[in-house]
Amino acid sequence: MASSSPAVAVAAVAAMPAIAPFPNHPGPKKETARITVLPDPPSKPPASVQIKKTQPLITMPDRNIATAPIKLAPTTAPVAVEEGIPMSLCWGVLGISAIILLIQIWNYVA
């Protein structure tokens, strides 16, 4: 028969012995670590910085030096990239990529 009073139920639960999950180990142990604190080193004044002469910066070369002539490629009429690729190939690549995407989603859900 169940008891009608909640105080009796709480007392019955409190009276039950606690069962350890592992019989060989009574429970967790308190572990502490000792950390030694080193004393602060004596403060020394910062060493003085000695400024020495640096090497001179690289200067730009004279513009009077003769340079090699630049030859440009002959200009031709540019060909549109879209005209070189057949439309059926574009649709085929799109279809294959859509199938691969669906397979990846299916594998993720499963």
| pTM for this entry | 0.29
Q: Residues 6 or more apart from 20 whose CB is under 8 A from it?
A: 26, 27
d(CA 48, CA 13): 74
pLDDT at residue 48 in the model: 73
d(CA 14, CA 3): 15
Q: Are 9 and 15 in contact (CB under 8 A)?
A: no
Output DSSP code: residue 81: H
User: For 48-68, how does the pLDDT look when each residue is reduced to its tens digit (9 = 90+)?
Assistant: 777 777 777 777 766 676 677
Give CA separation, 44 vs 37, 40, 41, 48, in Å.
Answer: 20, 12, 9, 12
